[in-house]
Amino acid sequence: MNLFKKIVFVGAVLLALCGKAQTTIDSIHSLKEVEVSVLRSENFAIGNKSEHLDSALLNQYSGSSVADLLTSESQVFIKSYGLGSMATSSFRGAGAEHTTILWNGFNLQSPMNGLIDLSLIPSGFSNDVHLQYGGSGALWGSGAVGGTILLNNSIPFNKGVSAAVTTSYGSFSDRRQQTEVTISRKRLVSSVKLFNHDAKNDFEYANTAQFNHPEQKQNNAELKEYGVLEENYFQINKHQKINTRFWYQNNDRNIPPSMTQQVNAANQKDELYRATSEWQRTGDKLTLLARVAYFDERLRYSDSLIHLDAMSRTKVTIAEGETRFSIFKYDVINIGINNTYSEAIDTADYILAPAQNRFALFASYKIHTKNNNWKAVISGRQEFMKNTTIPFTPSAGIEGKLLKYFTLKVNASEHYHLPTFNDMYWSQGGNPNLKPESGWSEEVSVMHKLRYKAFGWELGATVFNRNIDNWIIWLPGSSGLWSPANVMKVWSRGVEYKLNVSCTVNKWKVSLSGLYNYVLSSVEKTTTGNDASLNKQLIYVPIQNAQGSFTIAYKGTSVSYNHAYTGYRFTSSDNTEFLKPYSVGNLHIAQTFNLKSSYLRLFVQLNNVWKEKYQVIAYRAMPLMSYQVGITLGI
């Protein structure tokens, strides 16, 4: 089906739905109001495993990065290059570029390499973190293959004035300061958050790349970063709201040498501007949403040892509109359009100054029973881009209660990932003829929940399967240059377990949680002939990992211990080389004093309390035990 036929087909379907909805809306006057406070991820991601990280966790990690938060508190594997260095995510054995990171619905993935460095995102800049596992291309488009990280912001109206200041000091000259001020009136909310962070990161480690593993001190690892997030929410009238957000951040960090290097003088500077605005109108019959975003991100990488000084800059403009309505009593329809324009400028490493315009049509139809115990959804998305055939991505899911205490979730979806600017336009080997990666994912989850008086229990298991065709990898050519090609088919499958137990007696609260993953992600087919990676596990995908947490709280005192285990990770495609498993334990102690109109919170964070010697990435040093102590004053 050519591009014109695709547009006509998808447009006809959407128009038919709109026409039918309008006829129904005009003739039925008892329809319920659609609740827009429910995000698209919650309303239409039926059947997918998902989890919210609660406010207690977000407060505990408010001075850390999203990478630190997810490393200890989720089933997402975070590939860290070291303290203060780059960190990316891997859901269910997928690549880092197969994770979509959304900030209030806007995709943050770089058009240059498809990645986002989670170590540069302050967790305190979001008050709602939601993880969605599995493919969701129908909802979010390109890149939503392994999973989606949703970072959201919302502030209630009419809550008065509040402020909080936090300062902390830790190992390796780590200093952090945060300030937050919020004014919440009946029709206006305004908030500003600021943070500053600098550290030397000069920790000692055992260099396993040298004879006798001598103790060395990390060098060229200094980090300085600061930023501001400003938000405004306006209640125009009973049915209309509008918000604006502005995020500025500046990062300046040295890149430490690997264990195989004697010295390194590399430095990376990142500067970003992110501005968004959203308007929504909620009525008894129809909800309208319109949002726009502008991202301007600049990177400068330099290395005086090799006389390198490279700059790059990307601009992304996003415009999106949605409408939500009901035809019958127990259904919701969501129809939307999205246009994303990306360009790379001031970049000498590209054949030309690449630009890309993507237009998408998406729709979802959800039905549920009267008591909402069962619900199902079907969704579809079609994107259009010049000279590129993008697959239509459908999905379907169902979830509901089995017996009294069991919940069942089932989902199947198609996904895809478009080649990046680096893949297509890199001057030293880019391939403009690459196809999008695409495939299907399926999952089934069963959850048992029980609540009896002060005791709570939650036990769940998820089985998943995912296939990705046309996997893009870079290979050396006959001329000696590396170039990307669609050469592999990758099969990922596995099982995930989750356990939460809590008990509250008088003013005592005790909670215990555990997570376990078993993931096989292997190369099933390759076009490069006798490839040693065939039927082997992908590199840096742990077959097993697990986390466990224990928290006890009494009045204003809380003690939390988290322990994470990461299994073997192969570092060669033929699986002959690997990194050993490691376990890291972290301890967090906090004491809160509630005053008349304010509060004082003291906290201590101990990381790697058992002084484990480990590497997440081969020959990238990680610190032994470290600490962070701090104080928060809130009004």
**Cβ-Cβ contacts under 8 Å for 185 (sequence gap 6 or more):** 157, 158
Helix (H, G, I), strand (E, B) or coil at 520: strand
- How far from chain centre, in Å, is Cα 285? 33
Token output for 33: 């109001």
Query: What is the DSSP pairing of strand 437-452 with strand 455-476?
Result: antiparallel
pTM of the predicted model as reported, rounded to 2 decimal places: 0.92
**DSSP summary character for residue 538:** P
Give the other-Cβ count within 10 Å of 162's Cβ: 15
Domain spanning 31-634: CATH 2.40.170.20: yes
Whole-angstrom Cα distance, residue 333 to residue 35?
12
Q: State the pLDDT at residue 149.
A: 96
Q: State the pLDDT at residue 283.
A: 87
**Cβ-Cβ contacts under 8 Å for 153 (sequence gap 6 or more):** 104, 125, 126, 127, 128, 229, 231, 245
Token output for 245: 């957000």
Whole-angstrom Cα distance, residue 279 to residue 190?
16
Q: State the pLDDT at residue 14.
A: 37
Whole-angstrom Cα distance, residue 17 to residue 33?
19
Residue with tokens 């040498």: 257
Whole-angstrom Cα distance, residue 230 to residue 247?
7
Q: State the pLDDT at residue 552.
A: 97
**Cβ-Cβ contacts under 8 Å for 354 (sequence gap 6 or more):** 343, 344, 421, 424, 425
Long-range contact set of residues 173-180: C-beta below 8 Å, sequence gap at least 24:
173/198, 173/199, 173/200, 173/202, 174/198, 174/199, 174/200, 174/201, 174/626, 174/628, 175/199, 176/63, 176/628, 176/630, 178/62, 178/63, 178/124, 180/124
- How far from chain centre, in Å, is Cα 72? 14
Whole-angstrom Cα distance, residue 342 to residue 383?
15
Query: In terms of DSSP H, where are the helices of 28-124?
Result: 40-44, 55-60, 66-73
Whole-angstrom Cα distance, residue 357 to residue 353?
14
Helix (H, G, I), strand (E, B) or coil at 79: strand
Please give the angle made by the CA atoms of 101, 116 and 193, to the nearest 5 degrees. 75
- Evaluate whether 118 touches 78 at the Cβ level (below 8 Å): yes
User: What digits encode the pLDDT tens for the residues 284-305?
Assistant: 889 999 999 999 999 999 999 9
User: What digits encode the pLDDT tens for the residues 105-122?
Assistant: 999 999 999 999 999 999
Which residues in the chain come in under a pLDDT of 70? 1-39, 478, 529-530
SS3 per residue for 346-374: CCCCECCCCEEEEEEEEEEEEEECCCCCE
